[in-house]
Amino acid sequence: MDTLSLAVVGAGPVGLALALHAARALPAARIAVFDTRPADQDVGRDPRTLALSLGSVQELERLGVWDAIAPQAAAIRAVHVSQQQPALLAAFAKLPQPELLLSAHECGVTQLGAVASYGAIVAPLQAAWLAAVAAEPQRLSARFGTPVAALKALDEGGVEVDAGIADRHDLAVVAEGGVFAGQARKPFPQGVSADYRQTAWVGQVTLLPADPLDAGTAYERFTPHGPAALLPLPPADDGAARAALVWCVDAADDPVRELNDAQRLAVLNSVFHPRVGRLSAITPLKDFALGLNAERTLVEGRTVRIGNAAQTLHPVAGQGLNLGLRDAHALVAALQAAHGPTGLDAALRKVEWQRAPDRWALIATTDFLARSFTWPLPGLASARGLGLAALQTLGPLRRAVAKQMMFGWR
């Protein structure tokens, strides 16, 4: 739909990727990006770590920004998932630890994905958008430092964007979600919300890998307190191996909060699989409340929500950003095929049903895993461990899981 007037609210990675894709796919469309962040703010310094699937890396390549991101990113060449055995079982039964290994080599690709900081991803996307605006100021605009107070559906169709001055658009896409603790809960039946009463402690660690060949491996460890993950990062200036840490625990019985850095490091060295090696240093950790906050539908009239604005998930699967980028790609593809106002409404309905399987499969999976750590059911941990062990022995199913991790539900 070339003549579309599109407002994108939120200049994070999902909103900027959508705007860049739409600007190329819809060469006559008028596109405005709104964000409360001033354009001169140094977003590149934001250290938050994001996991990118292979599909997301390919999307950023198509947008022409991956070459700027890649030097600051670390490739994920394998994913190792394991479960910490209960102490008594480990001591007396001498059973091997349940584990699952997904490798890029087995899947016939060079990498399963990559890890980069929020700033390393957003800064090139923002620079590309500002360059596009400078090249075509008559149809593209960057409204940074401009908070959007409200979106109002118009009787004649379209959306009024209240950003100081009312601005009418055919379609508004909200890609500004934030974190769970700062969000208004989506009430039933319009949405699905759950406070998991869990805390994610995040930071970075330095490690001495048990086997240098494991460089580029992401580790997920299921523990009695919750999942813990290590995501590979580019080496430190001195060449030391680094990883981003996401450590999820019960907020009411938090074993992390009162510990100092040395104690936290000692606990982590007892938590992770021996394949990880030894963690030798840890940065100060920040904590975030965890929960589920999801819209039941992406589309409401001429307003579409994508990314964290549509679904904020538990980080157990590390797939939130990837789901948002797939939302954005599908929306632009549908708009490209639309013709006129009637075609726009049909395109939005198509996006709704087309994205539903991928969205709800991931929402249900992360919700189940997050809740399962709080269920006092005897044998649940053993059942989860058996599931990991079974997946490891079933090659075709293991590769199917890896494919879904890389590209989502297709």
Whether 250 and 324 map to the same domain: the answer is no
What integer pLDDT is reported at residue 1 of this predicted model? 60
Residue 205's nearest CA partner among 192, 224, 219, 191 is 219
- Buried-state track 246-258, b at ≥16 Cβ within 10 A, e below 16: bbbbbbeeebbee
Number of domains composing the chain: 2
Pairing of strands 171-174, 303-305: parallel
Whether 204 and 242 map to the same domain: the answer is yes
Q: Are residues 112 and 78 in contact, defined by beta-carbon separation less than 8 angstroms?
A: yes
DSSP for 256-268 reads STT--HHHHHHHH
What integer pLDDT is reported at residue 255 of this predicted model? 92
Residue 55 resides in a domain: no
Whether 146 and 101 map to the same domain: the answer is no
Whether 219 and 365 map to the same domain: the answer is no
What integer pLDDT is reported at residue 93 of this predicted model? 47
Whether 203 and 284 map to the same domain: the answer is yes
What integer pLDDT is reported at residue 303 of this predicted model? 96
Task: List the pLDDT tens digit at each of the 410 positions of the chain.
Answer: 668 999 999 999 999 999 999 999 999 999 999 999 998 999 998 999 999 999 999 999 999 999 999 999 999 999 999 888 665 445 444 556 788 889 999 999 999 999 999 999 999 999 999 999 999 999 999 999 999 999 999 988 899 999 988 899 999 999 988 878 778 888 777 889 999 999 999 999 999 987 777 889 999 998 888 899 999 999 998 889 999 999 999 999 999 999 999 999 999 999 999 999 999 999 999 999 999 999 999 999 999 999 999 999 999 878 889 999 999 999 999 999 988 767 999 999 999 999 999 999 999 989 988 887 766 555 566 666 667 667 777 777 777 777 777 787 65
> What residues make up the domain containing 331?
5-47+121-191+291-371
Whether 271 and 296 map to the same domain: the answer is no
Rg (CA), the chain: 22
Whether 160 and 243 map to the same domain: the answer is no
**Six-digit token string for 195:** 């406070």
Classify residue 215 by burial, with Cβ atoms within 10 Å: 0-12, 13-18, 19+: middle
What integer pLDDT is reported at residue 249 of this predicted model? 95
What integer pLDDT is reported at residue 317 of this predicted model? 77
Whether 159 and 217 map to the same domain: the answer is no
- Buried-state track 110-137, b at ≥16 Cβ within 10 A, e below 16: ebbbbbbbbbbbbbbbbebbeebbeeee
